Structure 1
Amino acid sequence: MSAHDWQAPGPHDKRSPCPVLNTLANHGYLPRSGENISKSHFVKGLQEGLNVSSVLATILTYFGFFRIDKFFAKTINLDDLNQHNKIEHDVSLTRKDFYFGDNHTIDPELIDLLLNQNIDGKMNQESFAKIHWIRVNNSKEFNPTLSYTAERKMQSAGEPILILKIIGANTNHEIDVENLEILLKHERFPEGWRKADKTVGVWAIISGMRSIQKRYDQLEKEQNKQKAN
């Protein structure tokens, strides 16, 4: 097996609520055990595995350590990111809300719900915006402890944009539905996928987040208008 062949995690390996970080661990860009990962190792893994800029990799890493109150820690384990309302949050596209019990394990039914929003077999920004609003409405109806603040909304915008801008970097920021299923359900890079040809920087992510948040707001206004009628 080469250094970056996919390998399923063992029974004692640690994993996070983030499919992409877990994929990096499953491919050996981060320690396969998911344990004792330093900031520099995160930065290197993000750069080598995904071809993001050093600035973006550093921001994502330090933000993650800060959010889980480990900013001054030398290392963390991937499952440290499972703390609710830190990195992990309600209205996830791949995990159940905290209220329903297991908010850490992949939920194939939620992923299928996401994939059903494909447009001609492609997952794009519109696909993610629509499924986000479906998830928000579902959680508002059935989750009495739902936490959906402005910060959570921003996080919920960042995650699909990171996937589209990084995983879909070479395919016009779209992803074939079959490839996204492999990434999200099996946490592995699809066959034939390659990291971004051009380094993905901070501005690409910020502009994408602004764009998808704008679409979130439009969908909310459309829904409120329909209710009023």
Structure 2
Amino acid sequence: MSTHEWQAPGPHDKRSPCPALNALANHGYLPRSGENITPSQLIKALKEGLNSSSFVAYYLTYSSLHLLGKLCAKTINLDDLNQHNKVEHDCSLTRKDFYFGDNHTIDPELVDLLLEQNIDGKINYEALSKLHWIRLNNLKESNPTLIYKNPQKFASAGEVALLLNFIGGNTNNEIDIEKLEVFLKSERFPEGWRKPDKVVGIWSLISILRSTLKKYDQLEKEQNEQRNAN
């Protein structure tokens, strides 16, 4: 096996609610066991596997450790990220909410719903925003413990920015649905994909994050106008 060939996790390997971190482990950029990962290993994996800038890699690593209460920890396991409402949050696009019993395993039905939002066979921030709005409205009815405030809204938009920059970085921040399905369902880098040619820096992330938050607000406004009209 080559150093970064994909390998499915074993029954005792640890994985997180984040498909990108899981893919980095499945491809050997992180320890394949998902255990005893140092901050420096996380930073190196983000840079080598996804062409993250040093600043973004440091920020993602240490902000996550802070949220987990592990800022001084020497190592973490990927399943440490399963703690509810720390890094993981309600209204995920690919995982069920904590209330339903499993907030970290990929839900193929949610991925299929995501792929259905495609625009001409591609997923962009508008498609992901639409799915987010569908999910949020559904969960308001079905999850009595739903936590969705500004931090969760910001985190959700941030994840859109990360996905489109890291996986769609070479395709104008859009992702073909066939490649996205492989990435999300198998947590592997799809055939023909390569990490972004251009280093992913903070400003490219902020650009999509802002566009996504603006789209969220637009969808909310349209929904409120429709309710008032009825």
> Which amino acid in structure 2 is aligned with residue 115 of structure 1?
L
Question: Aligned runs of 1:151-170 on 2, under 5 Å?
Answer: 151-170=151-170
The answer to whether 1:204 aligns with 2:183 is no
Map Cα deviations across residues 146-184 of structure 1 (whole Å, 9 max, x no partner). Answer: 000100000000111101011100001100001000000
Question: Aligned runs of 1:181-200 on 2, under 5 Å?
Answer: 181-200=181-200
CA distance in 1, matches of 2:221, 2:193: 37
Question: Aligned runs of 1:66-215 on 2, under 5 Å?
Answer: 66-215=66-215
Q: Name the SS for the 2:197 alignment partner.
A: coil
Aligned residue pairs, count:
229
CA distance in 1, matches of 2:206, 2:124: 17
> Which amino acid in structure 2 is aligned with residue 169 of structure 1?
G
The TM-score, its normalising length taken from structure 2, stands at: 0.99
Map Cα deviations across residues 82-112 of structure 1 (whole Å, 9 max, x no partner). Answer: 0000011100011101111111111100110
The TM-score, its normalising length taken from structure 1, stands at: 0.99
CA distance in 1, matches of 2:160, 2:116: 15
Q: Which residue of 2 aligns with 1:59?
A: 59
**Identity of aligned pairs, percent?**
69
Q: Name the SS for the 1:75 alignment partner.
A: coil
C-alpha deviation, 1:144, in angstroms: 0.6
> Which amino acid in structure 2 is aligned with residue 66 of structure 1?
H
CA distance in 1, matches of 2:207, 2:177: 24
Provide the aligned C-alpha RMSD in A: 0.6
Q: Name the SS for the 1:94 alignment partner.
A: coil
> Which amino acid in structure 2 is aligned with residue 73 of structure 1?
A
Q: Which residue of 1 aligns with 2:30?
A: 30
The answer to whether 1:11 aligns with 2:11 is yes
List 4+ stretches of structure 1 deviating above 2 A. Answer: none
CA distance in 1, matches of 2:90, 2:182: 23
CA distance in 2, matches of 1:106, 1:197: 28
C-alpha deviation, 1:207, in angstroms: 1.9
Unaligned runs of 5+ in 1: none
Map Cα deviations across residues 58-97 of structure 1 (whole Å, 9 max, x no partner). Answer: 0000011111000000000000000000011100011101
The answer to whether 1:45 aligns with 2:45 is yes
CA distance in 2, matches of 1:93, 1:104: 12
CA distance in 1, matches of 2:184, 2:217: 26
Q: Name the SS for the 1:70 alignment partner.
A: coil
Q: Name the SS for the 2:42 alignment partner.
A: helix
C-alpha deviation, 1:205, in angstroms: 0.8
Q: Name the SS for the 2:52 alignment partner.
A: coil
CA distance in 1, matches of 2:149, 2:76: 26
Q: Name the SS for the 1:76 alignment partner.
A: coil
C-alpha deviation, 1:123, in angstroms: 0.4
